[in-house]
Amino acid sequence: MAKKVVANKEKCVGCHICELACSFFLDGVFNPKRARIRVESGYNALDLPHVCFQCENAPCAETCPVEAIVLDNGVWKVDKNKCTGCGECVDVCPYSAIFLNLTGEFAVKCELCEGIPCKEYCPNEALFLEQ
Amino acid sequence: MIGGYAGKYLDVDLSTGKVDVRLLDKEMVEKYVGGGGFIAKILWDQLPPNADPLGWENILIITTGPMTATLAPTGGSWYVGFKSPATGIYGEGRGGGYFGPELKFAGYDTVILRGRSPEPVYLYIEDDKVEILPADELWGKDFFKTVDMLEEKYKGVRVLGIGPAGENLVKFACLMSDRYRAAGRGGAGAVMGSKNLKAIAVRGSKDINVADKEGFIKALKDANKTIFEHPATAKLLPDYGTSSLVNGMSAFGAFPTRNHRSGVFESAEKISGETMAETILVKTRGCYSCNIKCTRYTMVREGEYAGVESEGPEYETINAFGARCGIDNLEAIAMANMNANRLGLETISTGTLIAFAMELYEEGLLSKDECNGLELNFGNHQAMNRLLEDIAYRRGLGDILAEGVKEAAVKIGRGSEKYAMHVKGLELTATEPRAAQDSGLGHAVASRGGDHLRPWSPAYTLFSFGSEELGLGGTPDPIVPDDKARVVALMQRVSTFTDMNGMCKFTVLCNTLAPSQLAHLYTTITGISFTAEDVMQSAARVWNLQRALNTIKFGITSADDTLPHRFLNETAPDGPAKGKVVELDKMKKEYYSLEGWDDNGVPRRERILELGLDFVAEELGK
């Protein structure tokens, strides 16, 4: 089974620290719109983290017209050079866990970085690593 | 490059519809940090001292701090500043939720709102696009509906605004954001309403930079470790929220009951955080970037209040709508809390007003007819909930109470002033000062009037949460005046600083983070070198500038630094402080001396110059 970050939505408190940690440790700035994990916070106590499930049969990869989403050691990664930013993967992902970057040029998703800062800084143990 | 700040601010003239984008001034950043510091400086420079708080000439400032929208613990704050319609002096508040960070992601640290729009409008900000748009469809709607309508129109937007209370110029209407977060004691909502501004909706996609990334990670790990180990931030607040204080405060005799007649509530347990956890609590939440997680999301599942859901009620709200009104029904308190949020009423003042009316009714100073036909005895929760709506819509007695307790007592007359619990026109809060003398001093001298959080010194004097760095140790005696001036002054500094830097006061409320840790976070994020002494000194500068505004521009004197009749003349009837009054004069004298204020409570020239406030010195003695 593939390694992946898994979220427990019951434990998520809606602080969005995972988004800040993701953008800070991977992009060097604070900007949730760069993050590869995103939390949807409603006002009815529902906080829903969206993060890549590293599907076995990944709809994003299957849909990609230029085969830019490739499996690397059990983790789906986006080849930025191939990706055209068409956004079809974003539309088909059942977990809403792949996004277009700020300029809309290519797709971004959780590629299981080193240290997994989203998990490390989560203040309520709502994220964990499954392998 | 200075990190942390967005670097720009918006200057919006609602009278003309002109919007200017300006660059943040370097001196402004270095001397005043942000939040209350920016607010005090802008009001000093730009507000005509005799401005009518509800007139076009008042200025409403929405701002953030350098830690807002960062990983710094609790870096999710926004602040509001204005001349208060309740007090006529400095007005400021702090809010959490998501609005503040979103404003910074849109590229702005601050929004200055001037003038008055001829028609109801809202402000829409999306990165570089800033528009003033008609709010005909939003005006008259409650705040929840306002948020729903704007979110439907703009996906992912964060909303700050007012409810009907603000539109109706209730003097203690607050600003609301993100549905359940409130800020602006002293009538920020009325000021916004007077400008015909219903809401600000914002979404942004810009970066916030950090000056020293490696250094920041170190500072962050150190601060987080302290937060996760300190009993207040690791246990009390996450487990039971602010309402974790209810039982303890009542045991200390410090839980104001029946309009502050007593500090002991016999039914405290029934409205405590522990009871909440077993009954109406649905989920624990946190504001943006918060790792303390004190927010409670609650829902009433059965009985006459079934279906009520909201964030909260918080400690202050539980006391205001609970013990202070003699009410021990947590579900009724949840109802009042939800309605206050929906209508945009600030809960502390609203509860004070209802408790005031209840005491007047029980003392025979108001008749049932004068109370909108309500039997307004302490404990009548149906009447409390009815009166709350009457205040927001200014119906009957509600119209008088909507003026704030100071003015309401003048309107009612009949000796009611004796029961009006306020300092300088700002209603009092959920700490009984006879049982925590320091809190009496804190309320008497605070910049915005009866302030519960700058500082909340009972964390040390009642709960013994000390600080090695501040020199606060051992087990202080809360019912004697000794040493309280020093305690109040020191704790004011750190809570003033977290009201400048974009963090939440709960990181310092119980002395969790030390000034050196605040300095380390600030230095690494901004790149401006700050020591623990700089933290204390910049907070002192801002505190004294606020005081200078109040004394030099708004005419406050030592005589205004006082407490309601009850605390100075009636002894506490029960609890550990039984037989005590507040010994204010002794503490005040010491406090003035420590602060460097003269006998009139005005900062002395040498103190002003030492703090680098030369422009204030020029106004002294004019």
Q: DSSP string of B41-83? A: HHHHHHS-TT--TTSTT--EEEE--TTTTSSSTT---EEEEEE
- From the list A13, A28, A31, which residue is nearest B284 (CB)? A13
Angstroms from B210 CA to nearest CA on chain A: 7
Mutate to test the interface with A, among B109, B150, B208 (most CBs of A within 10 A): B208
Residues B399 and B461 reside in one and the same domain: no
- Taking CB atoms and an 8 Å cutoff, what residues of chain B touch A29? 207-210
Residues B463 and B533 reside in one and the same domain: yes
B267 interface with A at CB cutoff 8 Å: no
Binned at pLDDT 50, 70 and 90, residue B622 comes out as low
Residues B515 and B543 reside in one and the same domain: yes
Average pLDDT on B565-589 reads 97
Residue B594 predicted with pLDDT over 70? yes
Answer for the pair A57, A69: CB distance below 8 angstroms, yes or no. Answer: no
Residues B462 and B488 reside in one and the same domain: yes
- Taking CB atoms and an 8 Å cutoff, what residues of chain B touch A15? 76, 285-291, 293
Assign residue B362 the CATH number of its domain: 1.10.569.10
Report pLDDT for B184.
87
In B269-288, the residues whose Cβ lies within 8 Å of chain A are: 282-288
CA gap A39, A50 in Å, rounded = 6
Report pLDDT for A1.
55
- Cα-based angle A27, A33, A35 (whole degrees, multiple of 5): 50
Binned at pLDDT 50, 70 and 90, residue B303 comes out as very high
- From the list B178, B206, B291, which residue is nearest A17 (CB)? B291
Last residue in a domain, options B366, B386, B420: B420
Size of the A and B interface in Cβ pairs below 8 Å: 80
Last residue in a domain, options B355, B385, B420: B420
Answer for the pair B390, B382: CB distance below 8 angstroms, yes or no. Answer: no
Residues B450 and B398 reside in one and the same domain: no
Report pLDDT for A111.
97
Mutate to test the interface with B, among A9, A10, A15, A125 (most CBs of B within 10 A): A15
Q: What number is the ipTM of this complex?
A: 0.97
Report pLDDT for B264.
98
CA gap B162, B157 in Å, rounded = 16
What residue spans define the domains of chain A?
Answer: 4-130
Task: Please answer yes or no on whether A31 and B207 come within 8 Å at the CB atom.
Answer: yes
Q: Considering chain B, what is the average pLDDT of its residues? A: 97
Tokens read off for B162 = 């007012």
B168 secondary structure, DSSP code: T
In a domain, B226, yes or no: no
Tens digits of per-residue pLDDT, B317-361?
A: 999 999 999 999 999 999 999 999 999 999 999 999 999 999 999
Residues B336 and B463 reside in one and the same domain: no
Report pLDDT for B124.
98
Spatial CA neighbour of B92 closest among B612, B449, B565, B458: B449
B146 interface with A at CB cutoff 8 Å: no
In CATH terms, A4-130 corresponds, of 3.30.460.20, 3.90.1170.50, 3.30.450.20, 3.30.70.20, to 3.30.70.20
Question: How far, in Å, are B39, B540, B557, B603 from residue B47 at the CA level?
Answer: 11, 22, 20, 20
B208 interface with A at CB cutoff 8 Å: yes
CA gap B82, A22 in Å, rounded = 37
**Structural domains counted in chain B:** 3
Residues B441 and B413 reside in one and the same domain: no
- Taking CB atoms and an 8 Å cutoff, what residues of chain B touch A123? 286, 290-293
Tokens read off for B492 = 């004011």
| Residue of chain B minimizing CA distance to A21 | B71
In a domain, B299, yes or no: yes
- Taking CB atoms and an 8 Å cutoff, what residues of chain A touch B282? 45
Average pLDDT on B361-368 reads 98
Residues B264 and B199 reside in one and the same domain: no
Task: Please answer yes or no on whether A24 and B147 come within 8 Å at the CB atom.
Answer: no
B69 interface with A at CB cutoff 8 Å: yes
Look-up of token digits 């103190």: B607
Look-up of token digits 């230029």: A66
Residue B204 predicted with pLDDT over 60? yes
Spatial CA neighbour of B357 closest among B318, B396, B397: B397
Task: Please answer yes or no on whether A14 and B213 come within 8 Å at the CB atom.
Answer: no
Residues B453 and B415 reside in one and the same domain: no
- Taking CB atoms and an 8 Å cutoff, what residues of chain A touch B206? 31
> What domain range includes position B99?
8-203
List the beta strands (DSSP E) in B464-559.
Answer: none
B601 secondary structure, DSSP code: S
Tens digits of per-residue pLDDT, A55-88?
A: 999 999 999 999 999 999 999 999 999 999 999 9
Task: Please answer yes or no on whether B205 and A102 come within 8 Å at the CB atom.
Answer: yes
Average pLDDT on B298-316 reads 96
Tens digits of per-residue pLDDT, B510-546?
A: 999 999 999 999 999 999 999 999 999 999 999 999 9
Average pLDDT on B449-469 reads 95
Mode of pairing for the β-strands spanning B121-126 and B197-203: parallel
CA B174 to chain centre: 10
Mode of pairing for the β-strands spanning B110-114 and B8-13: parallel
Report pLDDT for B127.
98
Task: Please answer yes or no on whether B288 and A16 come within 8 Å at the CB atom.
Answer: yes
In a domain, B362, yes or no: yes
B210 interface with A at CB cutoff 8 Å: yes
Task: Please answer yes or no on whether B179 and A43 come within 8 Å at the CB atom.
Answer: yes
In a domain, B214, yes or no: no
**HEC assignment per residue over B94-141:** EECCCHHHHHHHCCCCEEEEECCCCCCEEEEEECCEEEEEECCCCCCC
- From the list B71, B285, B299, which residue is nearest A30 (CB)? B71
B293 interface with A at CB cutoff 8 Å: yes
Answer for the pair B372, B395: CB distance below 8 angstroms, yes or no. Answer: yes
Task: Please answer yes or no on whether B105 and A33 come within 8 Å at the CB atom.
Answer: yes
Task: Please answer yes or no on whether B70 and A47 come within 8 Å at the CB atom.
Answer: no
Spatial CA neighbour of B160 closest among B344, B323, B384, B334: B344
Task: Outline where chain A has alpha helix (H).
Answer: 17-27, 59-63, 88-92, 117-121
| Residue of chain B minimizing CA distance to A12 | B285
- From the list B178, B207, B286, which residue is nearest A29 (CB)? B207
pLDDT along chain A (131 residues), means of 10: 87 97 98 97 87 95 97 95 97 97 96 95 96 82
Angstroms from B392 CA to nearest CA on chain A: 23
Residues B460 and B537 reside in one and the same domain: yes
Q: Is there a cis peptide before residue B120, judged by omega within 30 degrees of 0?
A: no
Task: Please answer yes or no on whether B286 and A123 come within 8 Å at the CB atom.
Answer: yes
- Taking CB atoms and an 8 Å cutoff, what residues of chain A touch B208? 29-31
B178 interface with A at CB cutoff 8 Å: yes
